[in-house]
Structure 1
Amino acid sequence: MVYTLIALAALGVGCTAYFGLTFTPAEAIMAALSFSAVAVVLLERALRQRAENRLEEAIENLSRLLATDAQAGATLGQRINALTDINAASRLEGVEGDISVLGTVIRQVAEAVAEIEERTAPTQRQRTLSSPAIVTPPSPEPEPVIALDALRQAIADNRLIYHVQPVVTLPQRRANGYDLVPRLMLEDGDLAERAEFMPRRGGEDVLRHIEDIGLLEAITIARRARAAGQSGSLFIPLSRATLGDAAAAEQLLASLEANRAIASSFMFIVAESEWRALTTGERAIADALLKKGVGFSLAGTRSLRLDVAELAGQGVRSLRIDAARFIEQPDSFTDFHASDIANYVKRFGVGLLATGVSNEHQILELLDFGIALVQGPHIAAPGPARADMMIERPAAPTLRRAEL
């Protein structure tokens, strides 16, 4: 476009020279060409100067970038030199020495505290002996009032039933799971509680049969609850009588394998004393049950001074403690503060379950202690499950396995 304008301007100069200045045609053409040449030279000079200015600016920007990179490289080199000059080995030796000194100091403090406790122990013992307070020992479990033969006959007559008792989560009191509670229907229609008929000494075959019926009840309830779109854990009683018998343990594993889809909703309740007394073979059966997806809940826990991490690795999901005893004597359970122990065991995926809650005051106390799982007569007493969840009992006990 610029060159077009130059050509038009040269044509105008030639016309002006020919018509206005009376130049000859040759002179007018020469004047137009001279004007065009001068205009083109001036334009090329302006363009070259502009290009040179841009090149100079680009060179200056590149110089600044190179200077910045050089400065960053110098700073990086200084940091590398500083890191190279650091003697990490000597510093680690110093830290190890400080840790060793600290360990020595802690050991000396522990020895001093132990010495002080030994000195004060006789005085405390004298105070305890002279104190009129009477410490009540834990009451032993009562002996069953129903004879073993009568229990066998009642089971043969299909008078053993399982009720459910909810385990709720505080403070909403929403059902977290259900305990399967065995009860015995007497001839007069009354119901005998577990403590009144469950064998204490001997009768392992009866105990295994009762636990077998409980597993069948749990499988039936879990299947129908799953079909109804409901969820929740079922706590099933289990003892060494079943874990220690090869045939019963094999049948238990087979039943869980056949119902692996619902096995994760099962929690086996094992007495804490029996759990600690498990033999190597019984422990292997418990590990096999864990691989099927079930968990364990330790009942009757007398102390929380346990290796909780080890219990969690063995599949223990909850520790059952007596609510009244924990509230009145928390120091008999643990050396932790009562409000810290629940959070401590929760770190390992284990929950504290307070049983035997009998009044609202205990619930408030347990909330202050951070215990969220509770069960007891104040929450709900054991009762029958819904009719559509119950197992249809056959006429003969020998047919129970066929339902699996």
Structure 2
Amino acid sequence: MQALVYTFIALAAAGVGATAYFGLTFTPAEAVLAAVVFGCVCVVLMERTLRQRAENRLERAIEDLSRLLATDAQAGAVLGQRINAMADINADNRLEGVEADISVLGTVIRQVAEAVAEIEERVTKPQPAGRDRMIAATPQPPAPVREPEPVIPLETLRQALSEQRLIYHIQPVVTLPQRRPQGYDLVPRLMLEEGDLADSVDFMPRRGGHDVLRQIEGVGLVEAINICRRARSSGQPIKLYIPLSRASLGDSASSEQLLASLEANRVIAEGLIFAISETEWFSLNTGERAIADAMAKKGAGFSILNVRSLRVDVAELAAQNVRSLRVDAARFIDAPESFTDFHAADIAGYVARSEVMLIATGIANERQIIELLEDGFVLVQGPHIAAPGPVRPDLVVEPPRPVRPQLRRAEV
């Protein structure tokens, strides 16, 4: 096409030269020059037109390429969002939850079948009473447990505290089957005038004496912080279970001091777990619950003692930073139906789904450990495991001094 255009330009230039020579009486040189100038002007105009067209086509191509790149970028962003969404999906946990639900459903079906078979057998022939590892279909509510009264009077306890005869020992909570320490209970003990040691059941006030309780728990918190700091500095951080009661949570000065201590020791707050009885935990009022929530926000956890029933909302307890529930080992083994409607071997796994652990306390013999292992328990504590003992600098429990099994009022 361009060759044809240049041919026409050459013919037009020749025509202009001939017209100038013949029509305008130009000399041959002038006519040739006019023809050349005309041809050059036409060629320049033609090249300019072609260049503009090429530049326009190039701009349109660049615009099309930019639109394609923008579309690809949007597609890449959408793909990245989908990949991130897939990466955030924790399929393992969801599958574990589904498997646990299926396991619980299978257990319930098995329980129903066994209950029907048991009813049919009882209709035909009565069975002798005995321990059944299957949970009863209609469990009885737990009977209230009366705590024994302390044998040491409150005034004697006040005098002992003023003389700084209160000491703290530790008792390990171990994992099964390795029996490695998972944490330590901070156990208050009282040094008597004769040199013997009195356990907490012998002197802790049951009714009244809230100021004494606050003093004992305050000393325990200071002792726990010192132990945790020393353990962290030695490169072996530990968990300590610290006694706590409503006497401290309900007192403004004690609760403020408690929160201030946790705030000043946020580094070790994860290792501080406050042990409170089931009765007091579920009877906290609004103000005391607010203090407990503030403690949880600062990193501290809770362990509920003397749990009589596991028919509770475990997820709600986990949201309140409850990390463990303690049940009496002998009672759970002898009467599991008093704790839960689940099969005894399934309750530990069900509770652990909410990251709450079951701790069996009061282990007295090896047979209890074997049965608890069959039921899925991994944390135990008791005199058969280890007795309370003093803390050495390397955090090893020393053998405790002999303690008389029971104190008489005449000896106090």
Band of TM-score, shorter chain:
0.5 to 0.7
Compute the TM-score of the two structures, normalised by the length of structure 1.
Answer: 0.63
Work out the CA distance in 2 between the residues paired with 1:389 and 1:172: 19
Structure ID, larger Rg: 1
Match of 1:329 in 2: 335
List per-residue Cα deviations over 1:192-247 (Å, max 9, x = no partner).
11010001111000000000000011000000000100122100000000000011
Deviations for 1:340-394, whole angstroms, at most 9, x for unmatched residues?
000000000100000000000000000000000000000000000104669xxxx
CA RMSD in angstroms comes to 2.8
* Residue from 182, 189, 193 that aligns with 2:195: 189
Residue 220 of structure 1 contacts residue 389 of structure 1 at CA under 8 Å; is this kept in 2?
no
Decide which structure has greater helix share.
1
Q: Please give the alpha-carbon distance, in whole angstroms, between the structure 2 residues aligned to 1:341 and 1:170.
A: 17
Aligned position for 1:301: 307
Which of 150, 167, 175 lines up with 1:144 in the alignment? 150
Give per-residue Cα distances to partners, 1:265-300, cap 9 Å, x unaligned: 010001011000000000000000001101000000
Deviation at residue 138 of structure 1 after TM alignment: 5.7
User: Match of 2:381?
Assistant: 375
Q: Deviations over 1:66-87 (max 9, x none)?
A: xxxxxxxxxxxxxxxxxxxxxx
CA displacement 1:292-322 (0-9 Å, x = unmatched): 1010000000000001011111110000000
1:141 deviation in Å?
1.1
Matching residue's letter, 1:233: K
Indicate the structure whose relative CO is greater, using CA pairs within 8 Å and at least 6 residues apart: 2
Q: Tell me the equivalent position of 2:264.
A: 258
Of 134, 153, 158 in structure 1, the residue corresponding to residue 159 of structure 2 is: 153
Query: What is the aligned residue count?
Result: 268
Q: Which amino acid aligns with 2:376?
A: G
Aligned AA (2:256): E
Other-structure match for 1:220: 226
**What are the Cα deviations for residues 170-195 of structure 1, in whole angstroms up to 9, with x where unaligned?**
00000000000000000000111101
SS in 2 for 1:297: strand
Identify unmatched segments of 5+ residues in structure 2. 1-111, 130-139, 397-412
What SS class does the counterpart of residue 385 from structure 1 fall into? coil
Deviations along 1:113-158, whole A, 9 cap, x unmatched?
Answer: 9xxx9xx9xx99xx9xxx9xxx995652110111111101101111
Structure 1 runs of 4+ with >6 Å offset: none
Q: 1:346 to 1:196 in 2, by over 3 A?
A: same
Instruction: Give the AA of the match of 1:178.
Output: Y
Which of 362, 367, 370 aligns to 1:361? It is 367
CA distance in 1, matches of 2:313, 2:144: 23
User: Mind listing any 5+ residue stretches in structure 1 that lack a counterpart?
Assistant: 1-112, 391-404
Question: How far apart, in 2, do the equivalents of 1:235 and 1:342 lie?
Answer: 20
> 1:240 and 2:246 equivalent?
yes
> In the alignment, which residue of structure 2 is the partner of 1:290?
296
Cα distance in 2 for partners of 1:198, 1:158 equals 16
Identity of aligned residues (%): 67
Q: Give the TM-score, by structure 2 length.
A: 0.62
Quick check: 1:171 aligned with 2:177?
yes
